[in-house]
Amino acid sequence: MNSSTTVRKLQVVSPVPADIDIANSVEPVHISQIAKELNLSPNHYDLYGKYKAKVLLSVLDELQGSEDGYYVVVGGITPTPLGEGKSTTTVGLCQALGAFLDKKVVTCLRQPSQGPTFGIKGGAAGGGYSQVIPMDEFNLHLTGDIHAITAANNLLAAAIDTRIFHESTQSDKALFNRLCPPNKEGKRSFSDVMFRRLKKLGISKINPDDLTPDEVNKFARLDIDPNSITWRRVMDINDRFLRKITIGQGPDEKGMVRETGFDISVASEIMAVLALTTSLADMRERLGKMVIGNSRSGDPVTADDLGVGGALTVLMKDAIHPTLMQTLEGTPVLVHAGPFANIAHGNSSIVADKIALKLVGPGGFVVTEAGFGADIGAEKFMNIKCRYSGLTPQCAIIVATIRALKMHGGGPAVVAGKPLDHAYLTENVALVEAGCVNMARHISNTKSYGVNVVVAINKFSTDTEAELNAVQSAALAAGAYDAVICTHHAHGGKGAVDLGIAVQKACKNVTQPLKFLYPVELSIKEKIEAIAKSYGARGVEYSEQAEKQIEMYSKQGFSGLPICMAKTQYSFSDNAAAKGAPSGFVLPIRDVRASIGAGFIYPLVGTMSTMPGLPTRPCFYDIGLDTTTEKVIGLS
Amino acid sequence: MEVVIVAIAATLGNLLMGWDSSTIADKMMSSTTVRKLQVVSPVPVDIDIANSVEPVHISQIAKDLNLSPNHYDLYGKYKAKVLLSVLDELQGSEDGYYVVVGGITPTPLGEGKSTTTVGLCQALGAFLDKKVVTCLRQPSQGPTFGIKGGAAGGGYSQVIPMDEFNLHLTGDIHAITAANNLLAAAIDTRIFHESTQSDKALFNRLCPPNKEGKRSFSDVMFRRLTKLGISKTNPDDLTPEEVNKFARLDIDPNSITWRRVMDINDRFLRKIAIGQGLDEKGMVRETGFDISVASEIVAVLALTTSLADMRKRLGKMVIGNTRESHFTFCFMLDLITEMAQETTRALRTGYILVYIYIYGSTNIFKKKTILFCFNHLKPIFYFCLH
């Protein structure tokens, strides 16, 4: 790293300029240079312009004999609506490790959804002097992965409605004739994907002409129950008017009207598949296993039943490769996948982490971010992602801010878009100390996985020395391995050097193995209750709908999957207003759904919106393009 | 479908062909992208032919066109986006010859215009030693999964890699889909917000005071002010009547012609009802989805001549009328620049260098064909007149 030609240390100015201005003030290095620093051969990546590259999975084959580097996950305390700077801390820490502490380091981040960029301010590239660049390319399109997910998701949706339509208008014989048409010599054959359905039905014949009429009926008719369809269409634009729609109103659709809706693309199960898959072959299997609904007799209907599993894989074949980018200080970043952190697991991809751990090698660092507070993102990182990847983290960082801790200590409500109350802008050590119970519980919960916990106190200009020291003391008292004050927003990597040093020590001094919160062999309810206990709940209550769903999934053979709790990010409990560390409450499970291809069951605690809207003045008013220089203006 | 050679693509292609013939001959002779290929009979299926040929790295194709790495961006090993900046560098050069391929009224099976276009260029480049570029439309992705048939030519006259040509390519249609749907969302959302807020509340949100309490118009808002004949630059100076005119587009829902799009064949979205959620307060409206290549934004992309021109065309798109039966130009929705941003990637080049399979016999050394594929789309004229 001392001979590195890509790492540089930033010159910072005060006060901190807008994110887009900082991002535009730094000329990115050509991405082939970043790849070279990682010892990535040109055979193992594809350039996408000058500042982005897709790292091919083939590099894993070449490096399979290498040892992994250290694996660090960044979570946070329960956040305010303004966010507490987990992405900024993740990037700042890596800039510190790479540019100031001479370590091999890769940051693994989620790809942000495009919709919010035009809706409400805020990208996901970090902030201030700790950012991924080019910022506009990070927040828009990137290398087209989300576009591929949108296309794949909607292909499956079209296949569902079309199949129902064709089954309703044709006899068994006509359906079968069209599914297995004779070729020029009059011979019929099954396509590869059809053998999956035949196997599921227990039919071992390979010649279509050998099927009995009863077998033809079973094979050709999926008999989908329209009321059971859980698969929705998606788009990567904030459009509340598509939350609930009626489709099939055209005269040619013969009255097959159905209510459904659109989610935002990152809420698609295909995004969760992309994040949790470990290889191309594994992705093919997961895509095919996705359950879109049930037949009228209660059997799950999969993408492979519809014949579309292979086509989905084709649409996703390039999306499986992570995108290489860089930070302001020239350290490498892998951007890949961005599943929702409520109805999905809110972490970037396994394949990116695996590639990064090999590239940095022993003694190097891979830092990844888990969405929302540690009760959501880090819990799912441990219990879902690490279970599927087989990887072991050494250190978990919990990002805390004085602002959020004051909120948890009883401060006034924090509302996005409204100025902060006076209580948040003036010193109040007692309020901070009262709020540290939230941080303490996150520390305790995270330590139980066997990792060393480091608290990163993200310092704002309004924070005082006494307040910061109070948090440091409380964190250490709660069992944190270390607690460090950070100024990476204002100072870039330099502001996170102490955090980098603490993380190095934490990684080198792990004493316990990774331990999951629950074994997957437990029943669905037992697993839900294990997670609820970590929230401080006294117990769990299930609605009638939830009971019915749990019974159905258990009967269908899906009870061995991990649990992905869909809960508000603003409280340990189901009540967003319950700050601090609430306990003794009963957690209400309103409904239970499943992403079978991605591989988890997700109980719903309260209502989850999966399609955001646009405000009166969306921030697209400020977004423009200098048509002379092609520079993007007004992204925030 | 007709092959349309659009001005911008052809101009660039022709400029590249306008070099000194002696230099051309020298470069052709030293080409490193040529190889000998075997043809078999009967002709195998297209995908098997396409897969039997290893494409040349696209940087070699660019080099043979004397295209500097400054003027293109690689998208993997076999695709590159040619930047418009090359037009500035070559503006003194003369154009080459410009040929359009049409057809007789076709049968449903098609008559082979794409195959002829590609085959002709392979002949000119590999057999007749001419500098040649082919400009083609990017195919829609939806039909690839519906009924068989891509648009990369056929048999031994194809664009390769075939799968990359028919799927995603470099994401231009995805960008069009996103831009089209951002505008659609803005229309319904604007109607919703106007129906639930007073003039004052709308204006307060459109021009909120900053930390020092000062209001300002964003750049795009000045276009609407100009259209309304208001020359003030300070929001606080507007009269209540001016605030009303500025803040309320007063779109007539029955006049909206802008539909959402997606690049998947999905008949169930031809006619839908939107806005049925409780939070949308009864603002249900009938509309539908087109396939993405039917978007007016595709026609804008195909007909534009520069980035600045595209910015203007996107802003001028008419989505419907006010209740007073005036046209509501898109920039009243102030979406122009975002769409320019969305589509800029597509325009950053309308051109993609793709290696082409070369027909050749075993005993004759054939020079390579250079195909320059224009991924712009068939222009579709979209009239909002009633």
Q: What are phi and psi of A108, to 5 degrees?
A: -115, 115
CA A158 to the chain's CA centroid = 25
Assess whether B333 and B198 both reside in one domain: yes
B285/A235 Cβ within 8 A: no
Q: Which residues of chain B lie closer than 8 angstroms to A165, CB-CB?
A: 267-268
Q: Pick the residue with more confidence: B12 or A461?
A: A461
- Answer whether residue A617 is part of any domain: no
Domain-located, residue A11 = no
CATH number at residue A586: 3.10.410.10
The pLDDT of residue A143 is: 93
pLDDT of A155-184, one tens digit each? Answer: 999 999 999 999 999 999 899 988 999 987
| B386, part of any domain | no
In-domain check, residue B385: no
Q: Give the tokens for residue A419.
A: 């100025």
Nearest CA in chain A to B143: A155
Residues B266 and B137 in one domain: no
My answer on whether B197 and B165 are in the same domain is no
Is B384 a member of any domain? Answer: no
B382 occurs within a structural domain: no
Whether the ω angle into residue B42 lies within 30 degrees of 0, i.e. cis, is yes
Sign of CA dihedral B189, B193, B194, B196: positive
Q: Say if residue B150 is in the same domain as residue B297.
A: no
DSSP annotation string for A293-348: EEBTTS-EEETTTTT-HHHHHHHHTTTTSPEEEEETTS-EEEE-----SSSS--B-
* B48 part of a folded domain: yes
Phi/psi at A425 (5° precision) = -110, -5
| Residue in B182, B217, B330 to test binding to A, most A beta-carbons within 10 Å | B182
DSSP class of residue B142 equals: G
Q: Are residues A539 and A589 in the same domain?
A: yes
Residue A2 domain-assigned? Answer: no
Q: Do B188 and A239 touch (CB under 8 A)?
A: yes
Q: Between these two residues, B230 and A634, which has the higher pLDDT value? A: B230
- Check A47 against B208: CB less than 8 A apart: no
Residues A120/B322, Cβ–Cβ less than 8 Å:
no
Interface-testing mutation among B263, B264, B292, with chain A (most A C-beta atoms within 10 A) = B264
| pLDDT tens digits, one per residue of B106-141 | 888 787 888 899 999 989 988 898 889 999 988 887
Per DSSP bridges, beta strands A539-542 and A586-589 are parallel
Q: Do A157 and A131 share a structural domain?
A: no
CA R_g for chain A: 25
DSSP letter for each residue of A96-156: IIIIIS---EEEEEPPPPSGGGGTSS--SSEETTEEEESHHHHHTTTTSHHHHHHHHHHHH
Answer yes or no: do A246 and A376 share one domain: no
Q: Is residue A333 part of a domain?
A: yes
Query: Rounded to a whole number, what is the distance in Å from the CA of B2 to chain A's nearest CA?
Result: 26
Whole-angstrom Cα Rg for chain B: 25
Q: Give the span between the Cα atoms of A341 and A377, in whole angstroms.
A: 6
Q: What are phi and psi of A443, to 5 degrees?
A: -60, -45
A457 close to A401: Cβ distance less than 8 angstroms: yes
Same domain, A325 and A455: yes
**Token output for B255:** 């006049």
B233 and B94 in a common domain? no
Domain carrying residue A386: 17-142+317-507
Q: Cβ atoms within 10 A of the Cβ of A371, count?
A: 26
Strand (E) positions, B302-376?
318-321, 327-329, 351-355, 370-374
Dihedral angle at the C-alpha atoms of A207, A211, A215, A217, nearest 10 degrees?
A: 90
**B165 and B187 fall within a common domain:** no
Residue A10 inside a domain? The answer is no
Query: For B95, phi and psi rounded to 5 degrees?
Result: -85, 160
The whole-number pLDDT of residue A503 equals 98
Banded pLDDT at B10 (limits 50, 70, 90): very low
CA–CA separation, B72 and B59 (whole Å): 9
Q: Say yes or no: B52 and B162 in one domain.
A: yes
Same domain flag for B82 and B108:
yes
Percent of chain B predicted with pLDDT > 70: 72
Please tell me whether residues B316 and B265 are part of one structural domain.
yes
Query: What separation in angstroms does the CA of B23 have from each of A375, A540, B26, B29, B371?
Result: 67, 80, 5, 10, 19
Cis bond leading into A519, ω under 30°? no
Task: Report CA A35 to chain centroid distance, whole Å.
Answer: 25
d(CA B40, CA B367): 20
The verdict on A79 and A43 lying in the same domain is yes
Is the CB of residue B71 less than 8 Å from the CB of residue B86?
yes
- Long-range contacts: A629-634, Cβ < 8 Å, 24+? A630/B307, A630/B344, A630/B348, A631/A24, A632/A20, A632/A136, A632/B341, A633/A20, A633/B337, A634/A20, A634/B218
Q: What was the pLDDT predicted at B3? A: 32
Last residue of a domain, one of A287, A309, A331: A309
- Domain residues for the domain of B331 are 173-346
- Whether B230 is covered by a domain: the verdict is yes
Check if B193 contacts A (Cβ < 8 Å).
yes
Residue A371 tokens, joined: 């969405």
pLDDT tens digits along A275-296:
999 999 999 999 999 999 999 8
Predicted pLDDT at B286: 87
On whether both A503 and A577 belong to a single domain, the answer is no
One domain, residues B354 and B257: no
Residue A100 CA to residue A96 CA, distance in Å, equals 5
Peptide bond into A112 cis (omega under 30): no
d(CA B77, nearest CA chain A) in Å: 6
Residues of A in contact with B171 (CB under 8 A): 141, 143-144, 147
Give the whole-angstrom CA distance, residue A464 versus residue A466.
5
User: Which 3-state string (H, E, C) describes B251-275?
Assistant: ECHHHCCCCEEECCCCHHHCCEEEC
Q: What SS3 class is residue A394?
A: coil
- Mean pLDDT of the residues in chain A: 92
CATH number at residue B196: 3.30.1510.10
Q: Please indicate if any CB of chain A lies within 8 Å of the CB of B272.
A: yes
Q: Are residues A304 and A325 in the same domain?
A: no
Which residues are CB-neighbours of A170 under 8 A, at least 6 positions away? A178
Secondary structure of residue A262 in the 3-state scheme: strand
Q: Tell me the backbone φ, ψ of residue A115, rounded to 5 degrees.
A: -55, -55
Q: What is the total count of domains within chain A?
A: 3
Residue A162 inside a domain? The answer is yes
Amino acid in position B273: A
- On whether residue B381 sits in a domain, the answer given is no
Cis bond upstream, residue B235 (ω within 30): no
- CA dist A48 and A516 (Å) reads 39
Q: Is A446 exposed, middle or buried (0-12, 13-18, 19+ CB in 10 A)?
A: buried
Residue of chain B with shortest Cα separation from A159:
B266
B349 touches chain A (CB under 8 A): no
Instruction: Decide: B322 and B252 in contact? Cβ < 8 Å.
Output: yes
- One domain for residues B140 and B12: yes
Exposure string of A102-119, with b = 16+ CB inside 10 Å and e = fewer, is ebbbbbbbbbbbbbbbbb
- Using CA atoms, how far residue A41 sits from A38, A44, B48, in Å, is 9, 5, 30
Nearest CA in chain B to A250: B271
How many Å apart are CA A439 and CA A459, to the nearest integer? 16
Q: Where are the beta strands (DSSP E) in A535-608?
A: 539-542, 586-589, 591-595, 600-604
Residue A102 CA to residue A105 CA, distance in Å, equals 9
Which of A112-116, B21-25, B330-334, B354-358 has the least mean pLDDT? B354-358
Instruction: Using CA coordinates, name the residue in chain A closest to B211.
Output: A419
* Nearest partner of A475 among A397, A549, A410, A536, judged by Cα: A397
Instruction: Tell me if chain A has a CB within 8 Å of the CB of B168.
Output: yes
Indicate whether A137 and A34 sit together in one domain. Answer: yes
Q: Is residue A419 part of a domain?
A: yes
**Residues A322 and A364 placed together within one structural domain of the fold:** yes
Q: Burial of B381 by CB count in 10 Å (0-12 exposed, 13-18 middle, 19+ buried)?
A: exposed
B314 in the same domain as B364: no
Q: What is the CATH number of the domain that holds A295?
A: 3.30.1510.10
Average pLDDT, chain B: 77
Strands (E), B238-350: 260-262, 272-274, 285-287, 289-291, 318-321, 327-329
B354 vs B189, which has greater pLDDT? B189
Q: How many CB atoms lie within 10 A of CB A448?
A: 14
Residues A52 and A78 in one domain: yes
Query: Does residue A7 form part of some domain?
Result: no
Partner-chain contact A630 B344, CB within 8 Å: yes
A241 and B205 within 8 Å at the Cβ level: the answer is no
Quote the CA–CA distance of B122 and B119 in Å, as a whole number. 5
Low-confidence ranges of chain A (pLDDT < 50): 1-2
Q: Which of A29-43, A258-272, B280-294, B347-361 has the lowest mean pLDDT?
A: B347-361
Statement to judge: residues A557 and A540 lie in one domain: yes
Task: Among A477, A507, A537, identify where a domain stops.
Answer: A507
* CA distances (Å), origin B336, targets A238, A636, B173, B176, B315: 17, 18, 18, 13, 5
Q: Collect all residues with Cβ–Cβ distance below 8 Å to A125 and sequence separation of at least 6.
A: A19, A23, A87, A91, A112, A131, A132, A133, A135, A138, A139
**Pair (A462, A540) in one structural domain:** no
Does the pLDDT value for residue B12 go beyond 90?
Answer: no
pLDDT of res. A195: 94
Among positive and negative, which fits the CA dihedral A548, A551, A557, A561? positive
**Which residue carries 């540690």 as its tokens?**
A374
Residue B200 belongs to some domain of the structure? yes
State the Cα–Cα distance between residues A267 and A564, nearest whole angstrom: 13
Strands A233-235 and A262-264: parallel
Task: For helices A145-169 and A269-276, give the axis angle rounded to 10 degrees.
Answer: 130
Total structural domains in chain B? 2
